Amino acid sequence: MGGLIFITILFWNSLLFLSPSSSHPLCTDSRAPFNATTPLAFCPYNGTVCCDSAADLLLQKQYKAMNISDLGCASLLKWVLCSRCDQFSAELFRINSVPRPVPVLCNSTVSADYSQSNQARDNFCGKVWDTCQNVSIMSSPFAASLQGQTGQPVNSNFSKLTDFWQSKADFCLAFGGASLDDAVCFDGGPVTLNKTDAPSPPSGMCLEKIGNGSYLSMAPHPDGSGRAFFSNQPGKIWLATIPKEGSGGTLVLDESNPFLDLTDEVHFDTEFGMMSIAFHPNFTQNGRFFASFNCDKVKWPRCVGRCSCNSDVNCDPSKLPADNGAQPCQYQSVVAEFTVNGNSAKPLEVRRIFTMGLPFTSHHGGQILFGPADGYLYFMMGDGGGTGDPFNFAQNKKSLLGKIIRLDVDNIPSAAEITQLGLWGNYSIPQDNPYVEDTQLQPEIWALGLRNPWRCSFDSERSSYFMCADVGQDLYEEVDLITKDGNYGWRAYEGPYPYSPAQSLGGNNISVNSSTLIFPVMGYNHTDVNKNEGSASITGGYFYRSTTDPCMYGSYLFADLYATAIWAGIETPENSGNFTATQISFSCAHDSPIPCSIVPGNSLPALGYIFSFGEDNNKDIFLLTSSGVYRVVRPSRCNYACAKENATAFVTPSPGSSSSSQTSRFGPSNISVILCSSLLLLLLSFFLV
């Protein structure tokens, strides 16, 4: 029996140590931590926390029910319980997303590299054992972790640590962990990350031009090959072959033979058109893909949907002024599902996923993408337009405008269920959407308080990092780290600045508590860029995860649409959520396959408007601009200094090749799986013998 317990504990513990951390400050319910206006009554936390007064009271009741007689042990276990209020509680209470009953207790013995000072600081697990090993604890959270693993039920009577673990070593194998660069542990107080010197921003970004077309969206082919889909604003999608970096090749696509042509359905204008494309996580098996676009109900009979200005959100469409000659909800935001037919798509929709009428002719976002961890469809929706969000849609929890929406497109309800639930199309609601906790929210909503999210992405190495750029009004362009139920402030705030609308047509009764808001992690003032005719508009990008430019690795890249200014955001410490953005120089490689035009009067490549960023299966980053398609390449091709380039130089394998598979198989995240599998087999063989 003891052997089985030991093997089970050791296996879970091996998962803990071998799996790299992937979380920024996050609470166990996937929400972002918030600033407590007053200290909690029971738990000794203040500042940024994950507990409100109700959660604090529940922890106090749990503590009293444990009925611990020893004061020293009681003090330690109070902190253990209260660690759920720590801003890193999601990381402390997870092992590869598996919930834990107690946090990871700092244990210096797991690392031979620790100094004596580190060991003294990080030996909290040993301290808990030494103080509490023979103390009776009612409903011990440590015993609860063994439910179903011992072969007999663990009851709620008094128990001691020595009832289940023979030694400190066994106990800390089960509950201990080292405070390493890629993981956090609980040392008896609020988690603090090791402060390290901030890495230097890259010396510059080298680009090569590989295409002349102007595209708004790019998606790598889900088959892992060196191909990608490109869509333009008028409504066409092409499948292109991407040349290897440095090969001198250009994008290979047939302009006259698009993968899909929706120009008859798409309404194309300055802020209208095909906004985005996304491919189902199981596309290679089911052939399902999705397009987000705008349509005009005057010109296309199938462009029919409810108006987002309605009585549910205290908006009367008959009182909306005509906007640029268009009547309210003449234009619609649409997400439609299609399927493939060989090397092209069937032009008829398989299913209309979502349709919603727009109150004005701007700020309707439109990007769609699938969450890499959950497989749900995320739909970015702007506030609907009008200067200063005059109806305060972004803060109205019954409106889908100014929100990030999260939909389940795999479980399609019946027509009767759609009507009964008041859905906007053919989808169902993920059960863990935040409306479960906040009944005021429309069930589709994942996050709120956005003006016009323009290009969001998940970090390919850390799926919890969901970054969105949000276009500002008059002063500030922002980058937000999106979390469940996060409120990003608009229109009460524009970035970090309080905002008062010039006019208000409704929604004044919606108040915002600034302590509940999440402010940008990066951004820039309009006065910080060389603006074209006084304009500024942010374009969100990606975390750079390619090996092509090792000095760019780990930076979050974003740009300004008009100013052709590009920033690299660096997080310090890693996984802290604290970023510093630096504007970086960029130039065009002298051996670019397509020569780059140069801005008159300086040496900058004439990119035109930076519409979007793209990422291929090699994790190389692309700029989709009005003057063409550019790829980030080796810095030496532009004479930028990068000491890491020579140290890590190798020929990047093409996606889908055996060498590529070999390279990715031994990436950091997969080494953990391999080692864990080997360890498990070794332990099981030992047990069976």
Q: Give me the pLDDT at residue 516, please.
A: 84
DSSP assigned state of 638: G
Residue 327 lies in a domain: yes
| Pairwise CA distance, residues 100 & 114, whole Å | 26
Domain of residue 81 covers 2-177
Highest mean pLDDT among 108-117, 374-383, 575-584: 374-383
β partners of residue 129: none
CB 360 within 8 A of CB 315: no
Sign (positive or negative) of CA dihedral 259, 261, 267, 269: positive
Phi, psi of 610 (to 5 degrees): -90, 100
Among the listed residues 274, 451, 438, the one whose alpha carbon sits nearest the alpha carbon of residue 368: 274
Percent of the chain's residues with pLDDT above 90: 68
Per-residue confidence band for 515, with pLDDT thresholds at 50, 70 and 90: confident
Residue with tokens 């006259």: 256
310 and 351: one domain?
A: yes
- What would the mean pLDDT of 218-237 be, rounded to a whole number? 97
Q: What's the CATH number where 590 sits?
A: 2.120.10.30
Residue 674 lies in a domain: yes
**pLDDT exceeds cutoff 60 at 347:** yes
Q: Look at strands 445-448 and 476-482 and give their pairing.
A: unpaired
40 and 173: one domain?
A: yes
Highest mean pLDDT among 302-306, 526-530, 680-684: 302-306
29 and 80: one domain?
A: yes
Residue 155 lies in a domain: yes
Q: Look at strands 556-560 and 538-539 and give their pairing.
A: antiparallel
Q: Write b or e for each residue in 528-545: b if 16 or more Cβ atoms lie within 10 A of its Cβ, otherwise e.
A: bbeeeeeebbbbbbbbbb
> In 603-664, which ranges are E strands?
610-615, 621-625, 628-633
| Pairwise CA distance, residues 333 & 137, whole Å | 58
**pLDDT exceeds cutoff 70 at 215:** yes
Residue 200 lies in a domain: no
Q: What is the DSSP string of 149-177?
A: TSSS---SSEE-GGGT-SSHHHHHHHHEE
216 and 99: one domain?
A: no
Per-residue confidence band for 653, with pLDDT thresholds at 50, 70 and 90: very low
Query: When comparing pLDDT for 95 and 161, which is higher?
Result: 161
- What would the mean pLDDT of 290-313 be, rounded to a whole number? 95
The two structure tokens encoding residue 165: 């673990």
Please classify residue 554 by burial: count the beta carbons closer than 10 Å to its beta carbon, then call 0-12 exposed, 13-18 middle and 19+ buried: middle
641 and 664: one domain?
A: no
642 and 667: one domain?
A: no
Lowest mean pLDDT of 27-31, 67-71, 536-540, 673-677, name the range. 673-677
Q: Give me the pLDDT at residue 182, please.
A: 57
Q: Give me the pLDDT at residue 194, please.
A: 72
Residue 190 lies in a domain: no
**pLDDT exceeds cutoff 80 at 651:** no
Give the chain's mean pLDDT. Answer: 85
50 and 87: one domain?
A: yes
Q: What is the DSSP string of 7-38?
A: HHHHHHHHHHHHSPP--SS--TTSBPPEE-SS
225 and 139: one domain?
A: no
Q: Give me the pLDDT at residue 158, please.
A: 78
Residue 653 lies in a domain: no
- What would the mean pLDDT of 634-638 be, rounded to a whole number? 97
- What distance, in Å, lies between the first and last C-alpha atoms of the chain? 14
CB 219 within 8 A of CB 237: no
CB 516 within 8 A of CB 34: yes
pTM, whole model, 2 decimals?
A: 0.85
Residue 183 lies in a domain: no
β partners of residue 357: 307, 332
677 and 596: one domain?
A: no
| Pairwise CA distance, residues 421 & 418, whole Å | 5
| Pairwise CA distance, residues 307 & 302, whole Å | 15
**pLDDT exceeds cutoff 50 at 21:** no
Cis previous bond, 227, omega within 30: no
pLDDT tens digits, 138-148: 989 998 655 44
554 and 636: one domain?
A: yes
N residues, the chain? 689
465 and 542: one domain?
A: yes
pLDDT tens digits, 96-138: 556 788 999 998 754 434 344 444 456 899 999 999 999 999 9
Percent of the chain's residues with pLDDT above 70: 83
Residue 112 lies in a domain: yes
439 and 329: one domain?
A: yes
Which amino acid is residue 428, in one-letter code? S
Q: Give me the pLDDT at residue 650, please.
A: 44
Number of domains composing the chain: 3
Among the listed residues 204, 308, 272, 74, the one whose alpha carbon sits nearest the alpha carbon of residue 567: 204
